[in-house]
A and B are shown apart, each in its own frame.
Chain A
Amino acid sequence: MIRRQTAERARDVRRGVPRGAWWRLWQRGEGSSASSAAPAFALLTVLLVVAVLLNAGIGAVRVPPAEVATVLLNRVGISTGIEVDVLREQVVWGIRMPRIVLAICVGAGLGMAGASLQAIFRNPLAEPGLIGVSSGGALGAIVLIITGVAPLGWLSLPLAAFAGALLLTLVVYGLARSDGRTQVVTLILTGVAMNSIAGGLIGLAGFLADDAELRSIVFWTLGSLAGATWRVVLPVALMTVFGLVLLPHARAMNLIVLGEREAFHLGVSTERVRVLVIVVSTLVVGAGVAVAGIVVFVGLVVPHLLRIVIGPDHRVLLPASALGGAILLLGADLVARTIVVPAELPLGVVTALIGGPYFLFLLRRTTREQGGWM
């Protein structure tokens, strides 16, 4: 018995899956999929830390690294003995840090939701926008902007966006469901139809809006992390942490991806997992959309990028997509807010212009080398 397990390991060591150039460099041995991803996680974690430090340290206001460190350490009760003036402290703690946390939360939420939705729909085109989260959020926010009411003060806009996201997703799901089951194709087509209806309503709202309202709508639909303050970031952070409930369902997602019938044969109740993923994704992404506006591209592409690199095992892919989404958004925001100082570019412009070409490059290379995509 012992000998057999040793042989097993030896065999595993010999397994080398050509999944990507840098992956090969990392690849030493591959036991179970989860442990084989350790180098990938190490790299992603390092990238995340680097991205956080760059975002904390770089900006229009020059703050020396020692002072950045001091501000952060002071917050956890460690004194460095360095004096930091109030303005710089405010910049690092009051402006950059909430923005960093928001980028992490929105990016992680989009990445994780994207990977999960692609799994439950067994469809590489699935993304949070598909089931109505984005257009629902847009509609909720825009209706509030147009009607000009704010019954709950500053909370009104994010709550309206959140409610819109939730409502439209529920409508999509409700319409696509029949006899206690949802056909994937029906769901996707319903999503497409509802998105176009929402798009029409948004267009109508734009037509009815006055000049000042239109400006708000535009700002909101372009997506931006500029509105990050601690009080808006904290609820988003809580919601993102709640999104981690998706992680234990990674195995079930693997089986669903293998095939819906296969998943059932292996004891997975596909419909239950599907409902869970849709609800959790909507909550997580809806919270992000409510604060940062519509951030396209991340939810669709981050899971694809990582699948190329680390393979399709969702036990690895879900946390990696969360990290990857956070890194991508941190990087994009760093560019957005430093490239045209003292102004800043819309975030969506940056994510699309950086991520798009890189994604195309990977897509072509993978298709060529491996004759298959996912």
Chain B
Amino acid sequence: MTALLAVDGVSFEVGQARLLDDASFEAERGELLAVVGPNGAGKSTLLRIVAGELAPTSGSVRIEGRPIADMRAMEQARLRAVLPQQTPTTFRFTAREVVSFARVPWLRTPESGDDEAAVEEAMRLTGVESMATRTFPTLSGGEQTLVSLARVLAQRTPLVLLDEPTSALDLRHQALVMDLLHDITARGISVVAVLHDLNLAATHAARVLLLHGGRVAAFGPAREVLEASLLSEVFEHPVRVIEDPVEGNPLVLPERRVRTLAG
């Protein structure tokens, strides 16, 4: 069985700059895959290429075995949903309207019968029902993220791409979102999430893709990728990796330079 998402030798250049260099990875069905790396490593660029927004200079992206380069926008929209870092609208759509936009790709298909149920369920899962009638621009950054996440879920695609879904969220909502992602992977949906927080990746992701300078520095189970010497090199900062005494997963702690110097 082919992987749900197959990224093969993708490079991306803008002018002289090579933002991605021969990146390859796969995501299986029902897998939560975290993309991590320092600023400027190419995480968001990679996500945009997978989303079909940018065409790679070379290499290919396949979803369910078909190259997305051959697909129309509408076909892609039925295969993958995307959560951008922020949704810029200033138009006064209600939260519910924003979520219901997710059903547009399913217009005039048999699935459109599920429209109301999909919207309803997505809002319930993300806990945004109470915001349904508020207008989107009046929501806080975190609330907007949750509504956008509900929109992504309501699209009901086999692949979900998330660009830093937790960065605007407090501790409780971070946990809520990550638990939610676990729930949907349990239904066979694949999630590829760019995460800034290495510990979230370590705690929740089955596999981690570590990018460094546009290249794949490591790709594999969290325990293998999140290794102290590699991370210290990639992030250009010494880190310690310890084991979570309760869950047993790795925890990444940056060293304090001051103490290092003092020591």
Min distance, Cβ A248 to any Cβ of chain B, angstroms? 11
Residues of B within 8 A of A15 (CB): 94, 96, 132-133
A372's contact among B52, B53, B133, B135, by CB below 8 Å, is which? B135
A225 at interface, CB cutoff 8 A: no
Bound: A372/B76 CA distance, A: 33
Instruction: Tell whether A16 pairs with B53 under 8 Å between CB atoms, given A265-B77, A372-B138, A374-B91.
Output: no
Bound: A307/B133 CA distance, A: 16
Bound: A266/B92 CA distance, A: 19
Q: Is the CB of A8 within 8 A of B116?
A: yes
Min distance, Cβ A366 to any Cβ of chain B, angstroms? 9
Bound: A51/B208 CA distance, A: 66
Q: Is the CB of B84 within 8 A of A262?
A: yes
B interface residues, how many (CB within 8 angstroms) = 40
Min distance, Cβ A37 to any Cβ of chain B, angstroms? 13
Bound: A370/B94 CA distance, A: 13
Q: Is the CB of B89 within 8 A of A269?
A: no
**CB-based nearest A residue for B80:** A265
B128 at interface, CB cutoff 8 A: no
Residues of B within 8 A of A19 (CB): 92
Size category, A interface: 35 or more
Name the interface residues of A9-38: CB closer than 8 Å to any CB of B.
11, 15-17, 19, 32-33
Bound: A311/B98 CA distance, A: 13
**CB-based nearest A residue for B115:** A32
Main secondary structure of the interface of A (DSSP, over half): loop
Q: Which of B59-67, B101-109, B213-221 contacts A (4 or more CB under 8 A)?
A: B101-109
Q: Which of A147-155, A168-176, A253-261 contacts B (4 or more CB under 8 A)?
A: A253-261
Q: Is the CB of A251 within 8 A of B104?
A: yes
Q: Is the CB of B155 within 8 A of A266?
A: yes
B8 at interface, CB cutoff 8 A: no
User: Which of A33, A262, A311, A373 is packed against the most chain B CB atoms within 10 Å?
Assistant: A262
Q: Is the CB of B89 within 8 A of A371?
A: no
Q: List 17 A-B contacts (CB under 8 A).
A: A15-B96, A15-B133, A16-B133, A19-B92, A251-B104, A254-B101, A255-B101, A258-B89, A258-B91, A259-B87, A259-B88, A265-B51, A267-B78, A370-B135, A370-B138, A372-B135, A374-B92
Report which B residues bind A (CB closer than 8 A): 51-53, 72-78, 80-82, 84, 87-94, 96-98, 100-102, 104-105, 107, 116-117, 120, 132-133, 135, 137-138, 155
Known: A257-B89, A267-B104, A374-B91. 12 other contacts (CB 8 A): A33-B97, A261-B84, A262-B82, A265-B84, A266-B101, A267-B73, A267-B76, A268-B104, A307-B92, A312-B93, A372-B92, A374-B90
Report which A residues bind B (CB closer than 8 A): 1, 4-5, 8, 11, 15-17, 19, 32-33, 122, 124, 251, 254-255, 257-259, 261-262, 264-269, 307, 311-313, 370-374
